[in-house]
Amino acid sequence: METFDSAQRLLREAASSFGCEEVDLHEADNRFLAVDIVADRDYPPFNRAAMDGYAFRIEDWHDGIRTYEVVEVVYAGAQHKQELKKGQCYKIMTGAACPERINVIIKLEDAIEVSGTVSFTVDRVAEFQHIARQGEDVKQYEVVLYAPQRCNAQIISLLASLGVSRVSVYLLPSVSIVTTGSEVIQPDLPISPFQIRNSNQFLLRSLLKKWSIVPQLCTHVDDNVPSLQAVLREALKHNITIINGGVSVGDADYVPTVLGELGVKVLFHKVSIKPGKPILVGQTTGGGIVFALPGNPLSCLVTFTVFVEEYLYYCFQYSQRMIYKLPVLDSRRKKGELTEFFPVKIHPNGGLCMLEYNGSGDITAALGADGFAIHPHEMAEIAQHSWTYFYPL
């Protein structure tokens, strides 16, 4: 049985890129950037007016001039037409390019304009006040975005500002989902007192959707060896196969045996964690990976979060996955020597509140959870207000 750390290390070693593709910018949301992005020019590309106001040379102010002739209005997107003489100024709009040698703007609220001349209600000005200087945000040829990064709204906006209309992103994997169990039925079917509904199929589809992954195959199979063999033979053709249920040591847990018959090489089977101990991870003869996750709802969610997502991050070329360290607001004891994951909610003060639940089969166990905190195997107790690692959902 692997430790949690060694199992994650084996996953990281098995991870490799699915390749790259170029997509239109409007299709890049939630995809992973595959190349560094370099600025095509300075930003701002010119000295830019940061306020509506009056622009002039500060040298005139230093020479004691306090009333200026307004010779032109300069608008955003337009070029000025007249050059200033001593004692003259422009009326300038926010976002407009400051003409050469203009080095101060006084905002409209501090100005009094009468019949083409303007005076001001301020006694002091500073050079380049209310002017965003060329290149102060980004210099031409500077790397603005380092790959890999998930393209969120802020990054999409920045790419558009940089003139990137098509962007190189990592290819998404082809994924199959196979849920198992003769007692499991779809939510829209009549149910007997001894059956359960297939919540994990919907859970896994929803979790994959966060990665913009839509499974190419999504099916359910009863605890029947010939049926399982036929379904898994097709499922294993994909980059990632996620199997749920049938992975433990019960009489009807056929998944490990069938995977072996289909040529899957086991990377690890059973990890010293709770919940999720029975997890099996293997590699197919075609280079794909198989995650056989336990069937209890909380076990399924935990193992997807800490193993499947770990694998995806490294396939998208992250050198390290971001997890967090936060204080727990109550103490927690455990009896065994397994690494335990427990659902928590983030308190407004930043600490972790533990949620009560009745074991990994509790369908409400993760309701309201912001993520899972870790109770390390070597610690019998997490003391109140001590810090622990946290995987966000």
Residue 249 confidence class, pLDDT cut points 50, 70, 90: confident
pLDDT at residue 253 in the model: 87
The pLDDT of residue 113 is 98
Dist CA 285 CA 164 (whole Å)? 39
Residue 41, pLDDT score: 98
The CATH number of domain 324-392, selected from 3.90.180.10, 3.90.1300.10, 2.40.340.10, 2.130.10.10 = 2.40.340.10
Element (H, E) at 205: helix 199-209
DSSP-assigned beta bridge partners for residue 138 = 43
Contact 205, 215 (CB under 8 A): yes
Given pLDDT bands bounded at 50, 70 and 90, which one contains residue 142? very high
pLDDT per residue as tens digits for the range 192-232? 999 999 999 999 999 999 999 999 999 999 999 999 999 99
Mean pLDDT of the chain: 97
Is there a contact between 170 and 151 (Cβ–Cβ < 8 Å)? no
The model's pLDDT over 227-242, given as tens digits with 9 standing for 90+, comes to: 999 999 999 999 999 9
Summarised one tens digit per residue, pLDDT across range 162-196 is 999 999 999 999 999 999 999 999 999 999 999 99
pLDDT in tens, 259-270: 999 999 999 999
CA-atom Rg of the chain in angstroms: 30
Question: What is the reported pTM?
Answer: 0.92
Burial class from Cβ neighbours inside 10 Å (0-12, 13-18, 19+) for residue 367 reads exposed
The domain 4-17+172-315 having CATH identifier 3.30.1360.120: the answer here is no
Average pLDDT score over residue span 311-319: 97
State yes or no: pLDDT of 251 exceeds 80: no
Cα–Cα distance for residue pair 97/47, rounded to 1 Å: 6
206, containing H or E segment:
helix 199-209
Q: Do domains 26-38+138-170 and 324-392 have the same CATH topology?
A: no
CATH architecture of 26-38+138-170: Alpha-Beta Complex (3.90)
- What is each CA distance from 10 to 234, 263, 271, 311, 390, in whole angstroms? 25, 19, 12, 10, 21
pLDDT of residue 384: 97
Pairing assessment for the beta strands 131-132 and 48-49 based on DSSP bridges: antiparallel
Give the rounded percent of residues in the chain with a pLDDT score beyond 90: 97
Going from N- to C-terminal start, the domains of the chain cover: 4-17+172-315, 26-38+138-170, 48-132, 324-392
CATH architecture, domain defined by 48-132:
Beta Complex (2.170)
pLDDT score at 250: 74
The mean pLDDT value for 294-321 works out to 97
Contact 336, 274 (CB under 8 A): yes
pLDDT tens figures, 4-63: 999 999 999 999 999 999 999 999 999 999 999 999 999 999 999 999 999 999 999 999
